[in-house]
Amino acid sequence: MPFDAGASTGAAPSPPDAAGHRGRLRARLLSGGIDALADHELVEYLLMTAIPRRDVKPLAKSLLARFGGLAGLFNADARTLARHPGMGESSAAALVIVAQAARRLARARVMDQPVLGSWDALIDYLTIDMAHLTVERVRVLHLDTRNRLIADEAMGDGSIDEAAIHPREVIRRALDLGAGALILVHNHPSGTPEPSKADIDMTRRIAEAGRLLNVMVHDHVIIGRGGHVSLRARGLI
């Protein structure tokens, strides 16, 4: 059963100067810039809110080691976090809320404005949301006639082939939403965003289906931990 504090496998009791240590972390956080705290100190400070009377520095370091750094940690599954020794639902929630806040902030930067004119913000949003997924996920960004985002829908998990996505279904959904254009997106859990032949072939089939019904396929973006690839920029659409 997950727990947050007080178990023998959890965080160690706070040292005598715990209040002073936390006060110094808080002061550095509030007065410094982006690098005021080390990665483990950021995690430590977050965990303090859920485990207020324990020394959580060892726990913070063990989480970073297990998940490979901040990005992996903040994109980890909540249930996996809660089962980590010394963690629990409350402490997992303290970390998950950061990832959710980051996603909403990134999404806010691409809402209510032409997506093609805020491309960097769009890539940031997609990277935050998808780069560290452990499964391949296909999604479609539906745009209105002014290229503003009107719907962001997952088409399913799995490779981009007819088992996961069908060109006619993609275009039919766009028409149902009144979309004039769309952007295909999927991730490569392997980390490299290089498109496969199947990625290219399916994109071209969807683009052709769209042309017949006046739905423009602006791009297909592939996201990976190592960056992203635009098939439009590669001249593959």
- Look at residue 169 and tell me if it is in a domain: yes
CA 34/CA 76 separation, integer angstroms:
22
The boundaries of the domain holding residue 204 are: 115-230
- Coil vs helix vs strand at 218: strand
Report DSSP state, residue 220: E
- Look at residue 79 and tell me if it is in a domain: yes
- Look at residue 110 and tell me if it is in a domain: no
pLDDT tens-place string over residues 80-93: 999 999 999 999 99
Count of the separate structural domains present in the chain? 2
pTM of the model: 0.73
Q: Domain boundary residue among 60, 80, 105?
A: 105
Same domain, residue pair 80 and 129: no
Per-residue confidence band for 7, with pLDDT thresholds at 50, 70 and 90: very low
Same domain, residue pair 95 and 144: no
CA 233/CA 203 separation, integer angstroms:
14
pLDDT tens-place string over residues 210-221: 999 999 999 999
Q: Which strand (E) or helix (H) includes residue 86? A: none
Same domain, residue pair 22 and 75: yes
